Amino acid sequence: MNQKERYEDAKKMYAALGVDTDAVIEALKKVPVALHCWQGDDVTGFDHDGPLTGGIQTTGDYPGKAKTPQELMLDMDKALSLMPGTKKLNLHASYAIFEEGEFADRDKLEPKHFAKWVEFAKERNMGIDFNPTFFSHDKVKDGLTLSSPDEETRKFWIEHGKACVRISQYFANETGIPCVMNIWTGDGYKDIPADRMGPRLRYKDSIEQILSEPYDRKMVKPCVESKVFGIGVESYTVGSAEFTLSYAATHEGCLPLMDNGHYHPTEVVSDKIPALLCFYPEIALHITRPVRWDSDHVVLFDDETKEMAKEIVRNDALGRVFMALDYFDASINRVSAWVVGFRSWQKALLNAMCMPYGTMKQLQDENRMTELMVMQEEIKTYPFGDVWNEYCERCGVLADGKWFEEIVKYEQDVLLKR
């Protein structure tokens, strides 16, 4: 059987469950997922020479890392060509592109420093998401930024945040697509603090000041990302889960952002998604793979990834959840890391969309839990791979088993020559 025939067979099997795979494929094509620029260069960026700080780390020294905006864009283009679906670009402020001899510190960043990214995104019909960069900078004082007791330090970072609101508005205006602006800081303490509330009150005030900068609520979507701990900030993080959820709940227009690497290892974000959807009109996600801790491994098509996608799809929330990938692995081919992660999340969404939720919910509500278990187990061995291959083909990208040859070639021709 060739791929078309296999797809036709699969389509019939899903149709018997009441799932229209053609409609699913068309629907998924339109769902935007943000691709993070920082996988391409180990979260280095272009505005500083110092190390990566803020409690996050990359490990590995695989050859071919992008060192200039041109290289990063070239690599990203290669990756994009191997990913099905609608892509959005996710940038950090540290990826500002300066002219020869020009420099602007984080508090002085302007839209013009991102004009080349806008051009890149527009040529590829992509929207842009944005992140102020509150790390890897000499004005991070004693590990603190927006929560610093030093008013000059705090002011600098508030000004950075405000500059980023203006840049986010510029991205939204230029692309015509809403810009999600995510606030995350690594602020915290390695050892036991004496005051856990003071830093949080300052953080709250700082975010309020940043978001007092005018912006169009429909086009710029500010979020606050929580975290349980980071390297060097093991005892206390200012932006904890309770802090960010409460902030978002009490500040209209601000979304909570959950990164599935930022919770205790037995907590699952898949269960938190429907809880938040009961209260928030919109939420945001950073999709990653935490291995024992917030290790930011490449996203795979694994159980929790599938569950997260299911919660978004079966609650009819694809239009309410802003999805972005967030991981960085320097130990493997970085372009491949981008592609595997993006394709895995696409697979998870497609898989979630191929489930007969109406029937399954009914079984649950009628307490027919035995049948529900049997059905959920049997769907696992349905011919999902044939639907996935068809989806890739209809998106004009190479199927599994084919795309990796392109990576090998690109590594030989481009990456190893750097």
**Phi, psi angles (nearest 5°) of residue 376:** -60, -35
Q: Report the residue from 286, 297, 334, 343 that binds ligand RNT according to the rule CB under 6 A.
A: 286
Rounded to the nearest 5 degrees, what angle is found at the Cα of 386, between the Cα atoms of 381 and 388? 100
User: Is position 326 annotated as part of the catalytic site?
Assistant: yes
Q: Report the half-sphere exposure of 383 (CA within 13 A, side-chain side).
A: 17
Query: Does 347 contact Zn ion by CB under 5 A?
Result: no
Amino acid letter, 244: T
Q: Which one of ligand RNT, Zn ion, none is in contact with 397 (Cβ closer than 5 to 8 A by kind)?
A: none
Question: What distance in Å separates the CA atoms of residue 254 and residue 217, rounded to the nearest whole number?
Answer: 9
Q: Which one of Zn ion, ligand RNT, none is in contact with 43 (Cβ closer than 5 to 8 A by kind)?
A: ligand RNT
Query: Does 259 contact ligand RNT by CB under 6 A?
Result: yes
Restricting to residues 243-282, name those near Zn ion by CB under 5 A.
259
Q: What sign results for the dihedral spanned by CA atoms 260, 263, 265, 268?
A: negative
Contact predicate 31/349, CB 8 Å: yes
User: Is position 400 annotated as part of the catalytic site?
Assistant: no
Residue (of 314, 340, 33, 44) closest to 180 by Cα position: 33
Beta bridge partners of 92: 131
Query: Does 296 contact Zn ion by CB under 5 A?
Result: no
Query: Does 227 contact Zn ion by CB under 5 A?
Result: no
Name the region of 18 (left: φ>0; alpha: ψ -120 to 50; beta: rest): left
Query: Does 283 contact ligand RNT by CB under 6 A?
Result: no
Query: Does 41 contact ligand RNT by CB under 6 A?
Result: no
CB of 153 to Zn ion, least distance (A): 23
Q: Which is nearer to ligand RNT, 301 or 328 (CB)?
A: 328
User: Is position 316 annotated as part of the catalytic site?
Assistant: no
User: Is position 329 annotated as part of the catalytic site?
Assistant: no
Cα dihedral value 200, 205, 206, 210, nearest 10: 140
CB of 262 to ligand RNT, least distance (A): 6
Restricting to residues 125-144, name those near ligand RNT by CB under 6 A.
131
Number of Cβ within a 10 Å radius of residue 394: 15
Site string for ligand RNT, 193-232 (x = CB under 6 A): --------------------------------x-x-----
User: b or e along 287-310 (b: 16 or more beta carbons within 10 Å of the residue's beta carbon)?
Assistant: bbbbeeebebbbbbbeeebbbbbb
Residue (of 400, 312, 329) closest to 62 by Cα position: 329
User: Is position 296 annotated as part of the catalytic site?
Assistant: yes
- Tokens, residue 56: 């996050």
Q: Which is nearer to ligand RNT, 213 or 294 (CB)?
A: 294
User: Is position 113 annotated as part of the catalytic site?
Assistant: no
Task: Tell me which of 227, 297, 306, 310 is the catalytic residue.
Answer: 227
User: Is position 187 annotated as part of the catalytic site?
Assistant: no
Q: Which one of Zn ion, ligand RNT, none is in contact with 131 (Cβ closer than 5 to 8 A by kind)?
A: ligand RNT
User: Is position 107 annotated as part of the catalytic site?
Assistant: no
User: Is position 234 annotated as part of the catalytic site?
Assistant: no
Query: Does 159 contact Zn ion by CB under 5 A?
Result: no
Catalytic sites, residue numbers:
184, 225, 227, 259, 262, 286, 294, 296, 326
Which residues form the interface with ligand RNT (CB under 6 A)? 38, 43, 56, 92, 131, 184, 225, 227, 259, 286, 294, 326
